[in-house]
Structure 1
Amino acid sequence: MNPPLLHAEAVDVRFGGVHALRGVTISVRPGEICGLIGPNGAGKTTLFDVLSGMRRPDAGTIAYDGTDITRRSPVWRARHGIRRTFQRQQLFGQLTVADNLVVARDWRGGARPTPRHRERAATVLHACGLDDLADTYAGGLPVGRARMVELARALADPPRLLLLDEPASGTTAEERLRLADVIRRTAEDQNCAILLVEHNVSFVMDLCSRVVVLDLGGVLAEGTPAEVHANPAVREAYLGTVAEEAERAHPAEGPDDLGRILS
Structure 2
Amino acid sequence: MTRITTVGTTRAAAPDGDAYVLEARGVSVRFGGVRALTGVSLGVRAGEVCGLIGPNGAGKTTLFDVLSGIRRPDEGRLLLDGADVTRRSPVWRARHGMRRTFQRQQLFGQLSVADNLLVAQEWRGGGGGLVADLVGSPTRRRRERERRARAERVLADCGLGALGERYAGGLPVGRARMVELARAVADPPRVLLLDEPASGMSAPEREQLAAVVRRLAEKEGCAVLLVEHNVAFVMELCARVVVLDLGTVLAEGTAARVRADPRVREAYLGGA
**Is the pair's TM-score, using the shorter chain for normalization, greater than 0.5?**
yes
Deviations 1:195-225 (A, max 9, x none): 0000000000000000000000000000000
Task: From 18, 21, 27, give the equivalent of 1:5.
Answer: 21
Question: For the aligned residues, what is the CA RMSD?
Answer: 1.1
Question: Is 2:178 the partner of 1:148?
Answer: yes
What's the counterpart of residue 186 of structure 1? 216
Give the superposition deviation at 1:53.
0.3
Give the superposition deviation at 1:239.
1.0
Task: From 187, 197, 200, give the equivalent of 1:157.
Answer: 187
Question: Is 2:102 the partner of 1:86?
Answer: yes
Q: Distance in 2 between matches of 1:17 and 1:77?
A: 29
Task: From 246, 249, 269, give the equivalent of 1:216.
Answer: 246
Question: Is 2:130 the partner of 1:105?
Answer: no
Equivalent AA in structure 2 for residue 66 of structure 1: G
Q: Secondary structure of 1:5's partner?
A: strand
Equivalent AA in structure 2 for residue 168 of structure 1: A
Q: Secondary structure of 1:135's partner?
A: coil
Q: Distance in 2 between matches of 1:145 and 1:2?
A: 35
What's the counterpart of residue 64 of structure 1? 80
Q: Distance in 2 between matches of 1:230 and 1:197?
A: 20
Q: Secondary structure of 2:268's partner?
A: helix
Equivalent AA in structure 1 for residue 34 of structure 2: V
Q: Secondary structure of 1:48's partner?
A: helix
Instruction: Give the TM-score, by structure 2 length.
Output: 0.87
What's the counterpart of residue 261 of structure 2? 231
Q: Secondary structure of 1:90's partner?
A: coil
**Structure 2, unaligned stretches of length 5 or more?**
1-16, 127-132, 134-139
Aligned length: 242
Question: Is 2:62 the partner of 1:46?
Answer: yes
What's the counterpart of residue 45 of structure 2? 29
Q: Distance in 2 between matches of 1:224 and 1:240?
A: 19
Higher gyration radius (CA): 2
Q: Distance in 2 between matches of 1:13 and 1:180?
A: 31
Q: Distance in 2 between matches of 1:177 and 1:183?
A: 10
* Superposition pairs of residues 241-256 of structure 1, within 5 angstroms: none
What's the counterpart of residue 248 of structure 1? none
What's the counterpart of residue 122 of structure 1? 152
Q: Which runs of 4+ in 1 moved over 6 A?
A: none
Q: Distance in 1 between matches of 2:229 and 2:33?
A: 27
Q: Distance in 2 between matches of 1:23 and 1:166?
A: 23
Deviations 1:92-141 (A, max 9, x none): 00000000000000100037871111111001001111011000000010
Equivalent AA in structure 2 for residue 240 of structure 1: G
Equivalent AA in structure 1 for residue 113 of structure 2: V
Equivalent AA in structure 2 for residue 137 of structure 1: Y
Q: Distance in 2 between matches of 1:236 and 1:170?
A: 27
**Structure 1, unaligned stretches of length 5 or more?**
242-261
Task: From 195, 200, 203, give the equivalent of 1:170.
Answer: 200
Q: Secondary structure of 1:239's partner?
A: coil
Instruction: Give the TM-score, by structure 1 length.
Output: 0.90
